A and B are shown apart, each in its own frame.
Chain A
Amino acid sequence: AQRVTQPEKLLSVFKGAPVELKCNYSYSGSPELFWYVQYSRQRLQLLLRHISRESIKGFTADLNKGETSFHLKKPFAQEEDSAMYYCALSGFQAAGNKLTFGGGTRVLVKP
């Protein structure tokens, strides 16, 4: 069975401080990992995926297969980063883009 765990429900940081959102997963095969973000009153949207190895809005995430983690990091948080963040896993099976989500972490960036 596949599972995604986000241990922090709320992260509160000051503007300019680093922020790290933790994500751990369990999956027996080779997973695809994603971070989705939901800004206030907007739809869920893809932030980044591990296979593209890119930095979006200053965020990066590295897949660590040894620790089964995919933590999201940003060195200098901005107020506009305040949002809900969801880590998700796709098993890349015949069932297409079926995603398993973590419980989400709310990030609040204070001025």
Chain B
Amino acid sequence: NAGVMQNPRHLVRRRGQEARLRCSPMKGHSHVYWYRQLPEEGLKFMVYLQKENIIDESGMPKERFSAEFPKEGPSILRIQQVVRGDSAAYFCASSLGQGGNTEAFFGQGTRLTVV
């Protein structure tokens, strides 16, 4: 099991472009979480998805950000019309089930730089 795979590892976008970040959960995991880490800060929850459903998007900015986890394929975090403030590390985690007794496994992150 290769673990949670995120790509790309590094992404550079100009202001106004779109950024698409991909996350393939661990085999058999149907719960995916996205977190954002701004420089010098801890990870902040963005969104929790199960296959084809958004369960909790309370941490997602109201505009320009969207996430999906289709029946087939990876989870996608999409940022439209990126701005400098979107520059951050974006981490994906997956778990087998829900609840605190089910470990969440993290990917290595995608570092987005907006120039």
- What is A's interface to B at a CB cutoff of 8 Å? 4, 6, 32, 34, 36, 42-46, 49, 51, 86, 90, 92, 94-104
Are A43 and B107 in contact, CB atoms less than 8 angstroms apart?
yes
Q: B37-84: which have CB < 8 Å to A?
A: 40-45, 48, 55-56, 58
Are A86 and B43 in contact, CB atoms less than 8 angstroms apart?
yes
Distance to closest chain A CB from B37 (angstroms): 9
Q: Which residue of A lies closest to B104 (CB)?
A: A97
Tell which of B33, B91, B95, B100 has the most Cβ of chain A within 10 Å. B100
Q: Which residue of A lies closest to B50 (CB)?
A: A96
Are A96 and B43 in contact, CB atoms less than 8 angstroms apart?
no
Distance to closest chain A CB from B60 (angstroms): 12
Can you show 17 pairs from A to B with CB atoms below 8 A apart? A6-B42, A32-B101, A43-B109, A45-B106, A86-B42, A86-B43, A95-B55, A96-B33, A96-B98, A97-B93, A98-B45, A98-B48, A99-B45, A101-B43, A103-B40, A103-B41, A104-B42
Chain B interface size band reads 20 to 34
- What is B's interface to A at a CB cutoff of 8 Å? 3-4, 31, 33, 35, 40-45, 48, 55-56, 58, 91, 93, 95, 97-109
- Chain A residues whose C-beta falls within 8 Å of the C-beta of B106 in the assembled complex: 36, 43-45
Distance to closest chain B CB from A32 (angstroms): 3
Tell which of B43, B101, B102 has the most Cβ of chain A within 10 Å. B43
Are A51 and B101 in contact, CB atoms less than 8 angstroms apart?
yes
Q: Which residue of A lies closest to B47 (CB)?
A: A98
Q: Which residue of B lies closest to A86 (CB)?
A: B42
- The 4 A-B pairs at the shortest CB distance, nearest first, are namely A32-B100, A96-B98, A101-B42, A44-B106
Tell which of B33, B41, B42 has the most Cβ of chain A within 10 Å. B42
Tell which of B4, B45, B55, B58 has the most Cβ of chain A within 10 Å. B45
Q: Which residue of A lies closest to B56 (CB)?
A: A95
Are A102 and B98 in contact, CB atoms less than 8 angstroms apart?
no
